[in-house]
Amino acid sequence: MVRINSRLAAVALLLTTTTAVSTQVASGFAASDGSIKFALNIPQNDASEDLYFSMQGSSSLSWMAIGMGNNRMDNTLMFMVYADSTGQNVTVSPRLSYGHTEPSYTNNVTITVQPGSGIANGNMTVHAICTRCRSWKGGSIDPTSTAQKFIFATGPDGSINSNSGSANIKRHASYGAFTMDLTKAVGAAGIPIIAMSDSAGTVQTQDKTDHDFSAPLHAVAMVGAFVILMPAGVLILRVFKSPRLHGWNQTVSAIVAVLGAMLGIYAGTMYNRSRNWNSAHQLFGTIIILAMIGQFVLGFMHHRIYKRTQAPTKLAPYHIWLGRVVIPAGIANGFLGFPLALNSKYNWALLALTLLMVIGFVPLWFWRYKRDANKMPLGMASDSDGYQSQPWNSGPSSSDINLGVYDGQQNYPPQPMNYPPPNYHYQNPQEGRQFV
Ligand SMILES: *[C@@H]1O[C@H](CO)[C@@H](O)[C@H](O)[C@H]1NC(C)=O
Ligand SMILES: *[C@@H]1O[C@H](CO)[C@@H](O)[C@H](O)[C@H]1NC(C)=O
Ligand SMILES: *[C@@H]1O[C@H](CO)[C@@H](O)[C@H](O)[C@H]1NC(C)=O
């Protein structure tokens, strides 16, 4: 242990001597997780309000940022860096943050990127000058402070490839805070070299990996509800003919979807692109969730009335048709959701899962269809649950409305049970099956 420590000390010494090669006056910070390195020079000719800085992180990062003026996001001025449209150089976006949401671009300060910046050799490197950068609405930095507060953050892997200062970003993957002795940064103006380690007076005060799972959980809940649970609920009714299980299953589906929607609402508050609730995914999602709740109420009411009257209700067709709209609409809205989360590639996974469900369900439907067709007269019995009945298609010709699945049943007007149709034959009486 002692030997390891002395070796570390030797390495640290080596690093310090390497850093000391710089002639530029600067304060440096190197995050303990290696995610980001930052160096700051404050020109002593104070009238300019300029700052010179350098920043480096892995080229795999979608973005990296240093914020000045606080140890959390509120009231900080940030230098946010991401790949430009060529992918070879960087866009440095000054952003202001007033709360724990995505910081917003400001054109109140000007950042000019200097030679030596770019994305190469696995590094994303910035050398830049920021003018009018020492104070901003809500905050400032003080060149006489020996413990000026800063924050740092890096996004998940990816490349934003945008020249726009207000490009959409994903939430940080890791973040933290540090303080720097700015008195050591004041000197002749000049771009500082990348800090390989903390300079004297720099203290990292926080280091965290992100633990906000609201957006991924929202996706899992919604896909689970609309792509798996709800179609399974339809299958339970149509193929396995169990209104009771159907009711339970769709209750669970609705609860999962409502909880998922609440997670989505929360996730939406964090990003500039969704904060105002005006994206298509959010607008359609709101309508779909309301329709889904309506669908749940319809199904519940239908069941209540049916239990009392033992006859098909007027609500059944609305329930059936609303279901046919709500489920596909919910799935379609997922295809708008992933791009909003800057995760368009998951649309392929959603497409695959949707196709898989269709491929899995169709044989079951077909199996049921053939089974029902074979015992056509008895099939009428399952009308007695009241869910299959649609007042307008009691005639044989309109069976296609029901996707052709219920030909056997729909040829008979829904009627109270135990009313044998004209050609009813008794050779296969399975009385028990009539009561679901
Ligand atoms: C990146 O842009 C800056 C500013 O225009 C320039 O000085 C620098 O040479 C560029 N780097 C590369 C790798 O093109
Ligand atoms: C990145 O830059 C540093 C110097 O700042 C250098 O030591 C390193 O080799 C570069 N490449 C990678 C992949 O880190
Ligand atoms: C713009 O910059 C000036 C000078 O630094 C500052 O006084 C003002 O508050 C800034 N405005 C905003 C909106 O940040």
Q: Tell me, what's the pLDDT at 373? A: 83
Q: Mean of the per-residue pLDDT values for the chain?
A: 82
Q: Residue 30: phi, psi to the nearest 5?
A: -130, 115
Q: Tell me, what's the pLDDT at 111? A: 95
Residue-wise pLDDT tens digits, 172-206:
999 999 999 999 999 999 999 898 888 888 888 88
Last residue of a domain, one of 209, 240, 256: 209
Based on the fold, state whether residues 166 and 246 are members of the same structural domain. Answer: no
Q: Is the CB of 273 under 6 A from ligand 3?
A: no
Domain region containing 68: 24-209
Based on the fold, state whether residues 177 and 223 are members of the same structural domain. Answer: no
Based on the fold, state whether residues 137 and 226 are members of the same structural domain. Answer: no
Residue-wise pLDDT tens digits, 106-116:
998 999 999 99
Closest CA to 274 of 330, 210, 336, 341: 341
Q: Are 154 and 57 in contact (CB under 8 A)?
A: yes
- 378: domain CATH number is 1.20.120
66, β-bridge pairs: 79, 152
Please tell me what DSSP assigns to residue 170.
P
Based on the fold, state whether residues 190 and 78 are members of the same structural domain. Answer: yes
Based on the fold, state whether residues 270 and 188 are members of the same structural domain. Answer: no
Q: Are 402 and 234 in contact (CB under 8 A)?
A: no
Q: Tell me, what's the pLDDT at 46? A: 65
Q: Is the CB of 135 under 6 A from ligand 3?
A: yes
Which residues' Cβ are closer than 6 Å to ligand 2? 56, 121-123, 194
Q: Is the pLDDT of residue 169 over 50?
A: yes
Q: Could you tell me which residue, 417 or 212, shows the higher pLDDT? A: 212
Q: Tell me, what's the pLDDT at 128? A: 96
Last residue of a domain, one of 150, 181, 209: 209
Residue-wise pLDDT tens digits, 362-407:
888 888 888 888 876 544 444 444 555 444 333 333 322 333 333 3
What is the CA(49)–ligand 2 centre distance, in A? 31
The three-state secondary structure class of 408 is helix
Domain contains 436 = no
- Of all residues in the chain, the percent with pLDDT exceeding 90 is 60
Based on the fold, state whether residues 190 and 80 are members of the same structural domain. Answer: yes
Residue-wise pLDDT tens digits, 49-86:
899 999 999 999 999 999 999 998 999 999 999 999 99
In this structure, which ligand is nearest to the CA of 132? 3
The three-state secondary structure class of 180 is strand
pLDDT tier at 23, thresholds 50, 70, 90: low
What is the CA(127)–ligand 1 centre distance, in A? 9
Count of structural domains, the chain: 2
Domain contains 3 = no
Average pLDDT over residues 296-322: 92
- 42: domain CATH number is 2.60.40.1210
Based on the fold, state whether residues 105 and 237 are members of the same structural domain. Answer: no
Domain contains 58 = yes
Handedness of CA 360, 364, 370, 373 (dihedral sign): negative
In this structure, which ligand is nearest to the CA of 54? 2
The C-alpha atoms of residue 292 and residue 81 are separated, in whole angstroms, by 42
Last residue of a domain, one of 193, 209, 225: 209
Based on the fold, state whether residues 324 and 415 are members of the same structural domain. Answer: yes
Q: Tell me, what's the pLDDT at 261? A: 97
Residue 256 CA to its chain's centroid (Å): 16
Based on the fold, state whether residues 182 and 264 are members of the same structural domain. Answer: no
What is the CA(57)–ligand 2 centre distance, in A? 9
Q: Tell me, what's the pLDDT at 200? A: 85
What is the CA(118)–ligand 2 centre distance, in A? 12
Domain contains 407 = yes
pTM of the model: 0.74
The three-state secondary structure class of 293 is helix
Based on the fold, state whether residues 66 and 178 are members of the same structural domain. Answer: yes
Based on the fold, state whether residues 233 and 282 are members of the same structural domain. Answer: yes
Which residues, 6+ apart, have CB-to-CB distance to 258 below 8 Å? 289, 293
Residue-wise pLDDT tens digits, 317-363:
999 999 999 999 999 999 999 999 999 999 999 999 999 999 988 88
Average pLDDT over residues 254-278: 93
Q: Tell me, what's the pLDDT at 366? A: 86
Q: Tell me, what's the pLDDT at 134? A: 93
Based on the fold, state whether residues 121 and 249 are members of the same structural domain. Answer: no
